[in-house]
Structure 1
Amino acid sequence: MARITGVVFLLLGLALAAAGVWLLTLGGSAYYLIAGALLAVTGILLMRRAPSALWLYAALLLGSAAWALWEVGLDWWPLAARLDVLFVLGLWLVLPWMRRALSRDIARPRPLERGLRPKIVASPASAAVGRGRAALGLVLMASAALAVASWFRTPHEVDGELQAAAAAAARPPSPAVPPGEWHAYGRTGEGQRYSPLSQITPANVDQLKLAWEFNTGDLRGRPGDPEETTFEVTPLKIGNRLFLCTPHQSVIALDATSGKQLWRFDPQIAGDLALQHLTCRGLSYHAASVAESAIETAAQPATEAATAPAPARPGAGTAANPAPMNAPTGENSKQEDSHPATQPLPVAARQGPTAPSCPAKLFMPTADGRVIALNPENGAVCADFGRGSGQIDLWRHMPNVRPGAYYSTSPVVVTERLIIVGGTVLDNASTKEQSGVIRAFDIQTGDLVWNWDSGNPDNTAPLPPGRTYTPNSPNSWSISSVDEALGMVYVPMGNQPPDQWGGKRSEAVERYSSSVVALDLTTGRVRWHFQTVHHDLWDYDVPSQPTLIDLDIGGQRVPALVQPTKQGELFVLDRRTGQPLLPVTERPAPQGAAEGDHTAPTQPKSALSFEPPPLAERDMWGATMFDQLACRIAFHRLRYEGRFTPPSEQGSIIYPGNFGVFNWGGIAVDPQHGWAFTTPTYLAFVSRLVRRPDDTTLMVQDGGPPKGSLPALNENFGAPFAASMKPFMSPVGLPCQAPPWGYVAGVDLRSGQVAWKHRNGTVRDLSPLPLPFRMGVPGIGGPMMTAGGVAFYSGALDNYVRAYDVRSGRQLWEDRLPAGGQATPMSYTGEDGRQYVLVAAGGHGSTGTKPGDAVRAYALPADTRAP
C-alpha cells in the first residue's frame, strides 16, 4: 500500500514540478515548483515506508494553506482550488491502513513476566508513524478550520439598502399603458421593465404558485437551425390577451388569465437561410385610435380563424415555392416599381386569412427579412399594410443580399405614426455584409419615411431607384427606445464587421460605431450621439435597450437615459442633449493593435461602473490545483494588459468578454425612486487573430465547414485576419477566472452608488453532478421590477426564476423551471384581479442551457393577495 501510494505521489509531484518550472519561466509563481518537489520527495519516502513522509507532507500542506491564505484570503472557492487535492491526499495518509503500511515492525508482544499477562509494545517505527499522523491530523484540522471560516465570508458582495429620497415625488404611470398591461418589450417605449402593480410584495412573494403553463411546441433542433436558436421572448399583454413569438417565428395569442391558446400565425419563412441567430425577442403593438376602433367595429366583416389555411390566389407563391417580391411592399410606388426584385420571399397576405384593415396592429419581424402586420383580434394579416402585401420587405435597397444574413431579431419601435426598424448582420463572416441602416416606415401604410445609414449619415431621404445602402455599416441589433414628447428615438449601435480588426473603417463608421444615437423622429437626422467605445476591437457593441427615466438631480427633474454596456459601464446621460449626468472620464488604453490597424489612445469610463478589477495570476481558478496551474500558464502565455487589451495573433484575454457585463436584457429601473436593478456578469474570453492566406480558405471552423446554408462565422472573408474567440476556460471546461461570475445589484441612479451586490445562481445545471452550490453564475436575459418592491429575474444559467427584495437584494423566492429561462419576465393583471408574473423558459443555444418551449405564469393564491 505504501509503495503504491508513493508512486502516485511521486508521479503527481513530478508533473506538478515540471509544469511549475514552465510557469516560473513565464514569470509566474514559484509555489508549484516547490510544492511539486515536496510532493515528489514525499512519494519517495512513502515508497521507502519512512515515517518522515508524514512530517514532510504536513509541512507541505501547512505551507500551502499559508500561501493560499496570502494569495486570496478567506475566499472559499479560490481556497478550495488550491487545497482540495492536497487535503484529500492528506486524509488518505492518516487512514488506518496507511499507518499499518508505514510501520516496519507491527507492535510486538513484550516478554512474559511472572504473574503478569503479556503486554503489547509498540515498535519505534510505529511510534514515529503515530507522531507523524498526529502532526498531519492537526494540519488537516487547521486546514478544515480555515475552510469553515471562509464559508462565513463574502468578500465579493456589498451589503446595504437602497434609500428613498425624502422628497421623492410620485410619477404617474404612462396613461397610454394601463397599469395591468405590458405594451412593449420594456412595457413602454421607455424600456424601464417596470410594472406599476403592487399586489406582490416582499411579505407575500414566497407564496407565489404556478397558475398555468403553456407549451408552444417550438423546440430547437430542426434542420437548418443555427447553434444560437433561442427562446428570448418577452410577451405583450393587451386587454386579456398575451402575444408572443417563438424562435421559429410563430406568433401566438393566449388568454392572459387561463393560458389557453386563442390563435396562432405561421409566417412561413423562407428556407435555406444563412442564420447566425434564430430568435424573436418580442412583438410590437400599435393601439387603435377611438375613431378607428369605432369604424372597425361597425364595418369590418368577420374573418376566418388565423390558423385556417387560406385559398391560393392566382399567381401567389407558397411557403415551399414563394412568389418573387416584385409587388409593392412599403415604399412609394415609383421606387418599388423601378427597384429590382430582391429575393423570392413569401408574401404574408397571400398565405393566410387577411383583414381588410387593422386599426390596431401587431408587428412581427421575421428571419427572412420582413416585418408583418397582424390583427391582434384574430392573427389575420393586415391587407391595408404594405400596399396589399401585409408586410415590409427589409431587403429593399439592401446590398449583398443573402437570405437570413440580415433581419430584425428585436421588436421594432412603435410611435404614433411610425415604426422604426433596425437589424442584425452576420458577426465576422465577411467584409461584404448588409447595411446597418435604421429605417422608419409609416405605421398605416408601410411606406418608407426616412432612412439613417451610419455609413452615409447626412442623407436620410428615401433612396432613389437603383441605389443601395452602405455595405457593412454599423448596425443596431438590439432594442431601441423612444421619447415622442422630445421627438427622438434612441438607437444602440454595433460596429462594423469584422469586430476584431478595424484597419479600413471610414470616418462615418468610426463616429457612430458602438454608440447610442438619438435620431429625430420627423427627419431621421442625428440630434446627438454618445460613443461608449472608441475604435471598438472587442465586439463591445451597445447591446442593451437605452432605459429612459426622469431623475431628481440637484433639485431638478432631468430627463435621463441610462445606457448599459458590455464593458460594465452604466452611462447616465441627459436624453435631450447626450451630455453625461454622472461624470465620464477618458482613461488611457493599452496600445499595439494588429498589423494595419490602430487602437484609440483613451476609452470612456463612467462614474457608475461595474467594470471588474483587472485579472492577475492569483485570480486563476480550476476544480483542482492542476487545472488552476494550467490556467496560470495560459494567463501568462496570452497577451493581457487589462481592459481593452487589443486582439492579437498571440491571443489576448478580453475581460470583460464579448458576452458582456450587460447584454440585450439590459436593466430594470424604478421611476418612482430612481433605482436600478442590474444583473452584471463576468466571463473572460480569448481573442486570437489568425492570418488569412486568401479570401476563401476556412481558418477557424473547429467543427468543419458549416452545414447547409449556415454561415462560416468569424472567418472575416476579405479581411487580413480571421478571429478565434472562445471563453477563457480550464482544461476541464471551467472558467479560468475564479467565481463569482454573476450577480444581482441595486443602484441609486441619482448618486451613482451601488447600494448592494450579491452572488446569484447555482452551478446545479452547469456541473456534471446537480450540486446546488451558490457560486454566482453568468446570466443572459433581463430583470423586471414592480411597484410592490419585488424584482424578478430568470436569466441565470441555472433553470430558476427568482424574486428579490428591491431595497436589499435579498432573495425571497425561487421556482424550478423546466428549461433555461434566458428571457426577460413581465407582469400583468388577469381578469380575476390577480397580478401575474410571466416568464418564457426555452433555453439558449450558445450557452447550452436546457431547451424547452414553456411559458409559465405565477400568481398568489386568492386568499393571500395584498389589498
Structure 2
Amino acid sequence: MIILSVLFFIIGLALLLGGGWLIALGGSLYYCLAGVALIAVSLLLRKKHAYANFIYAIFLMATLVWSILESGLSWWPLATRMGLFLILAIPLLLIAFGKHRRGWIFLLPVWLAAAATTLSPLMVTSPTTVEGELPRAVSIPFSSDVDDGDWNAYGRSNLGQRFSPLDKITPENVDQLQLAWQYQTGDKKGPKDVGETTYEATPLKIGNALYLCTPHNWLIALNADTGEEQWIYNAKVPAESQRQHQTCRGVSYLPPSDSKPLSAVQKVSTPSENLSSLQCDAQLFLPTSDARLIAVDPETGARCANFAENGELDLMHNMPFKQSGYYYSTSPPLVTGGVVIVAGSVNDNYDINSPSGVIRAYDVKTGELVWNWDSGMPYKTEPIAEDELYATSSPNSWSVASADEELGLAYFPMGNRTPDQLGVYRTPAEEKYATSVVALSLKTGQVAWVQQFVHHDLWDMDTPAQPSLLDLDTETGKQPALVIPTKQGDIYVLNRATGEPIFPITEEAAPQGAIAGDHTAKTQPTSALSFKPENLTESDMWGATPLDQLICRINFKQLRYEGRYTPPSEQGSIIYPGNFGVFNWGSIAVDPKRQQLFGMPLYLAFTSTLIPKEGLDLSDSNKGEQGVNSNEGADYAVDLKPFLSPLGIPCQQPPWGFVAGASLNTGKTVWKHKNGTIEDMTPFKLPIEMGVPGIGGPIITDSGIVFMAAAVDDYLRAYNLADGKELWKARLPAGGQATPMTYLNSKGEQMVVQVAGGHGSIGTTIGDYVVAYKLKK
C-alpha cells in the first residue's frame, strides 16, 4: 500500500508541476488537475481509505472524456492517454476486492467501460485512412526505348517513371515470390565514416548483367541470373569527415554506338582497378564522393581511356572554394543527347563560402566541357575559361534529373543556397532558381523555364525528387506532363514543354517575422494535388505516457509555431513538414498507361533554432544534417533536429508514414493507408502496425503491383496499386532504404531486386546485401 501510495504521489506531483508550467504557457488545464487528483488518491491510500477508489474512478472517467474530446476514437492517441492510468487502476481493484468493497463496486464498472472504449478503435477503420480504388483500365498506350526486360537508368529510363511493363508477377501470384539469390558487396560502414553513410543504390540491368554502386563508390557487375560477381571497380575514395553524406544512388549507362546489345560481361579475377584502360564504346558513369566522374567499360570494369584523363574527370575544376568533402555527387548523372550532365551536392550549413552548385554537360565520349549552367550566373552557359570561377555557394541539384530528348530538355530539381536557414547572402538570380525545377536546353544549357516551389526558402526545402515525365490526358487534350513531389507535401503537375501548371497552383499567405536583416515571403505556392499536413495543435502532441506527452506539450508551447513555413528563430521554431520532407529523394512512381501515381508521404516535425555566434566556439559542431551546424562566416549557427519526446519518439502522434494512390487525370487522392510497423524500432521486435517513417522509393509494374521497402522496419513489400492493400512482404537482412527494380533474366523469369544496406542517419540495420526474388516454379 505504501509503495503504491508513493508511486501515485510521484506521478501526481510531476503532473501538477508540469501542468502548472503548461498552464502558464497557455496550455491545457488537464495535467494540473490530474496531478491534484492523483495526489489526493495517494494521500487516501496512505490512510487506507475507500474514497481513494471513488476519486480514482471519477478521475479515470474524466480522463476518458477529455481524451475523446481531444483525439476522438483514434487508437494510438487514445491508448497512450489512457494506458498508464488503466494499468494503475489494477492494484486499486485488487485492494478493493480485499478490504474496500465499496470502492470496488464503483471503480470496476468505470474501469471496464474505459478499457472497452480505449480498445474500441481497434475494431474500426483508422480516421487517417482513405479507402478507394483506382481504375485498372488502360488510358493510353505505353512505349519506351528501353527493352521491356531491362532497367537502363535510375528511374528505368530518363523519363523517371519507375514503371516497368512487366506483368509476370501479378496480384494473384505475388505471394509465391521467394528468394532467388543473395549477394554481399563487402562494402560496409566503417568506424571512421560519417553518420549519413547510406546504401541507397538502385541497380541497372543491361543485357544479362546488373550494375550497382556502393556507399564508398565501388562499381559492381553481377550476373543477372545468379547474382554471381563478375567484376568490381573500386574508385578508392579516401575517408573524409567533412562530408555530410557517404552514399551512391546509382550509376548511368551509355549504350554502344551501333545500338547492338552488350557482349557477355566477363568475369574478371584480377582487381579491375589494375586493368589496362581501353577505348570504350558503351560506358558506365560512376560519380564519387571525392568529386570525380569515372567512365568504366561495362564488360570488363576497366576505365575508359577515351574519356577525360584516362577515364577520370575532376569535378572540382573552376570551383571558387575547394574544401575537401564539401562537394560531391550522390546521384547518377544524366546521359542523353551526346552529353553526360553532372550536378552535385554542396554541404548544408557548413560555410557561406562553399563550392558552386553548377550543372555541367560534358561530351559523353571525350569528357570535354560542352556547357555549364550556374544558377548564380544563369545566362552564361558557354564553357568556362580555365582562369574563371563559378559562383560561390550557388543553389545545387543533388537529386536525380530527367530528360525529354524529343523536346531537347533536361529537368533538374533544385536545392537552396547554403546556409539554408539564412537568406541574407543570396543574389536575385539565386533567389529565382532556388527550390524549384528548372528546364535546361540539352544543346546549350540555357533555361527554357523554371517553376519555383518555395519563395525565399528558409527551411531547407530543397526539391528532392526526380521529375516523372508522361503524356497526360487533360480536359484540354493530351499534354506532355512533368510530375514532381516536394518536401512540403505538394505534388506539382506541369506542362514539361512550357512549365505552365496543368493542376492549378495558388499562393497562400505565409507566416512573417524573420530575424533582423532577413525577410520572409508574404505568400507561398501550393498545388491542387497535395499531401501537405494539417497544422499541428497542442492536442496532437504525443508520447508513450502522459508524462512525456506533457513534456512535448510544454516544448510545443515554448517553441514558435504558426503553421507551414514558420520562420526559423532564436526562440526555436517547429518546422512541419520537417527536413525529411513529406517526400524525399525516393520520389513517387507513376503508371503512364493508367495515369496514376503511388507515393509514400511522411509526416515528421523538426525544430530549427538560430544560435547567435558572438564568440561561441563551434569547432566541435556536428558534421551532418542534424545537430548544430556552424555556418562559418555567418552571424548565426543553426541547430536542426527532429521534434522528439524525452524517450526519443516523435512528439506528434502517429501515424507518421503512409502509402497513397492518386489519379493524375483528376488530381484526387483515391486511397491512403498507414504503412510499416515498429518491429525494428524497439528491442522487443513487436510487429505493431503504426505507420512509420521511411526513406526510399517505389516502383510500379504493368500488372498493377507496387514494390517498395523504405520503411524503418526491414521488409520489402508488394502493394496493390488499385487500392493500396499489402499483398506480400519479405524480411530483409538489413534496412531497405533504396528503391527496388525489376527485370527479366535470361530464362524469361521476372526478378525483383532490392539493395539492403541500411541508413546511418535513421538507424536502420546496417548491411551490404543485394537480394533478388522470383516466383516459385
- Asked whether the two chains share a fold, i.e. TM above 0.5, the reply is yes
1:236 Cα deviation (Å)?
0.1
**Is the contact between residue 303 and residue 353 of structure 1 (CA under 8 Å) also seen in structure 2?**
no
Q: Distance in 2 between matches of 1:88 and 1:538?
A: 42
Is residue 2:723 matched to residue 1:808? yes
Looking at structure 2, the residues matched to 204 and 564 of structure 1 have their Cα atoms a distance apart, in angstroms, of 31
* Distance in 1 (alpha carbons) for counterparts of 2:44 and 2:619: 51
Partner in structure 2 of residue 36 of structure 1: 35
Gaps of 5+ in 2: none
Alignment of 1:442-481 (within 5 A): 442-481=363-402
- Contact 2:208/2:225 (<8 A) preserved: yes
Residue 538 of structure 1 is matched in structure 2 by 459
Q: CA deviation at 1:355?
A: 4.2
| Equivalent-residue separation in structure 2 for 1:520 and 1:4 (angstroms) | 75
Matches of 1:699 and 1:16, distance apart in 2: 39
Q: 1:441, 1:448 within 8 Å by CA — same for their partners in 2?
A: yes
Question: Given the alignment of the two structures, is residue 156 of structure 1 paired with residue 153 of structure 2, yes or no?
Answer: no
Residue aligning to 1:220: 189
Select 1:200's aligned residue among 164, 169, 175: 169
1:830 & 1:188 partners in 2: Cα distance?
Answer: 18
CA contact (8 A) 1:369 1:408 kept: yes
1:94-131 C-alpha deviation (Å, 9 max, x unpaired): 11x5643xx3xxxxxxxxxxxxxxxxxxxxxxxxx212
Distance 1:401 1:34, change over 3 A: same
Separation in structure 1 between the aligned mates of residue 557 and residue 323 of structure 2, nearest angstrom: 42
| Alignment match of 2:282 (pick from 321, 341, 360) | 360
After superposition, the Cα gap between the structure-2 partners of 1:304 and 1:151, relative to the gap in structure 1 and judged at 3 Å, is closer
Q: Aligned pair in 2 of structure 1 residues 711, 772: CA closer, same or farther (>3 Å)?
A: closer
Tell me what 1:170 maps to.
141
| Preserved contact between residue 230 and residue 268 of structure 2 (Cα < 8 Å) | no
TM-score (norm 1): 0.87
TM-fit CA distance, 1:270: 3.6
Look up the match of 1:111. Answer: none
Partners of 2:301 and 2:168 in 1: how far apart?
32
CA apart distance, 1:771: 1.2
User: How far is 1:303 from its partner?
Assistant: 12
Q: Which residue of 1 aligns with 2:85?
A: 86
Q: Secondary structure at the match of 1:552?
A: strand
Mark the CA change 1:304 to 1:744 in structure 2 (over 3 Å): closer, same or farther. Answer: closer
Aligned to 1:68: 67
- RMSD after superposition: 1.9
Deviates more, 1:767-776 or 1:567-576: 767-776
1:517 match: 438
**2:230 touches 2:267 (CA, 8 Å); kept in 1?**
no
Residues 492, 543 of structure 1: 8 Å contact kept: yes
Q: Distance in 2 between matches of 1:719 and 1:444?
A: 42
SS of alignment partner, residue 629 of structure 2: coil
Q: Which residue of 2 aligns with 1:485?
A: 406
TM-score (norm 2): 0.97
Q: Deviations over 1:412-431 (max 9, x none)?
A: 00113010000001110010
Question: Equivalent residue for 1:553?
Answer: 474
**How far has the Cα of 1:24 moved from its partner?**
0.6
Corresponding letter in the other structure for 1:210? L
Question: 2:299 is matched with which residue?
Answer: 377
In the alignment, what sits opposite 2:646?
731
* In the alignment, structure 1 residue 256 sits paired with structure 2 residue 227: no
1:308 to 263, 270, 276: 270
Q: Which amino acid aligns with 2:148?
A: P
Aligned partners of 2:171 and 2:720 also within 8 Å: yes
Inter-CA distance 675–700: structure 2 relative to 1 (3 Å threshold): farther
Supply the distance in 2 between the matched residues of 1:545 and 1:278 (Cα, whole angstroms): 20
User: Which of 130, 153, 166 is residue 101 of structure 2 equivalent to?
Assistant: 130
Amino acid paired to 2:739: T
In terms of mean alpha carbon deviation, does 550-559 or 29-38 score higher? 550-559
What SS does structure 2 have at the residue aligned with 1:90? helix
Q: Which runs of 5 or more residues in structure 1 are unaligned?
A: 104-128, 311-350, 863-867
Match of 2:254 in 1: 286
Shift of 1:474: 0.3
Aligned equivalents of 1:245, 1:26: Cα separation in 2: 52
Q: Answer whether contact 2:402 2:468 (CA < 8 A) is retained.
A: yes
CA displacement at 1:306 relative to structure 2: 5.5
Q: Contact 1:215–1:854 (CA<8 Å) still a contact in 2? A: yes
Q: What residue is the counterpart of 1:794 in the other structure?
A: 709
SS of the aligned residue for 1:622 comes to coil
Task: Measure how far apart 1:358 and its partner are.
Answer: 1.0
Deviation (angstroms), 1:861: 1.3
Which whole-Å CA distance do the structure 1 matches of 2:214 and 2:548 have between them? 40
> Which residue in the other structure is 1:345 paired with?
none
Deviations 1:430-457 (A, max 9, x none): 1011000000000011100000000000
Q: Which residue does 1:316 correspond to in 2?
A: none
Q: SS of 1:612's equivalent?
A: coil
Contact 2:265 2:299 in 1 (8 A): no
SS of equivalent to 1:228: coil
Q: 1:575 aligns with which of 496, 504, 512?
A: 496
2:725 paired with 1:753: no
Amino acid at match of 1:717: E
Q: 1:213 to 1:304 in 2, by over 3 A?
A: closer
Residues in 2 aligned to 1:563 and 1:861: alpha-carbon distance in whole angstroms: 37
Cα distance in 2 between the residues matched to 1:141 and 1:270: 63
Q: Within 2, Cα distance between the matches of 1:711 and 1:836?
A: 37
Q: Say if 2:616 is the partner of 1:676.
A: no
Identical columns (%): 52
Instruction: Give the 5 Å matches for 1:660-809.
Output: 660-694=581-615, 697-698=617-618, 701=621, 714-809=629-724
Q: Cα gap change, 1:382/1:829 in structure 2, threshold over 3 Å: closer, same or farther?
A: same
Contact conserved, 2:735 with 2:757, CA < 8 A, in 1? yes
- Which among 740, 749, 768 is matched to residue 825 of structure 1? 740
After the TM superposition, list the runs of 4 or more consecutive aligned residues in structure 1 that deviate by more than 6 angstroms: 302-305, 710-713
> In 2 relative to 1, CA 515–700 (structure 1 residues): closer, same or farther, beyond 3 Å?
farther
Tell which structure's C-alpha radius of gyration is larger.
1
SS at match of 1:538: coil
Q: Is the 8 A contact 1:429 1:711 kept in 2?
A: no
8 Å contact from structure 1 (residues 427, 713) kept in 2: no
**For 1:382, what is the secondary structure of its paired residue?**
coil
Q: Distance in 1 between matches of 2:506 and 2:476?
A: 24
Q: Distance in 2 between matches of 1:711 and 1:569?
A: 24
Flag the 1:307–1:661 CA change in 2: closer, same or farther, 3 A: farther
Match of 1:116 in 2: none
Contact 1:668 1:785 (8 Å CA) reproduced:
yes
Whether 1:428 aligns to 2:396 is: no
> What is the CA distance between 1:8 and its match in structure 2?
1.8
User: In the alignment, which of 141, 145, 154 is matched to residue 116 of structure 2?
Assistant: 145
Superposed CA deviations along residues 323-379 of structure 1, whole A, max 9, x for unmatched, are xxxxxxxxxxxxxxxxxxxxxxxxxxxx53234311100000011111110110010
When residues 82 and 711 of structure 1 are mapped into structure 2, their CA distance, relative to the original with a 3 A threshold, is closer
**SS of alignment partner, residue 717 of structure 2:** strand
Query: Among residues 580, 589, 594, which one is paired with 2:515 in the alignment?
Result: 594
The Cα of 1:7 is off from its aligned counterpart by 2.2
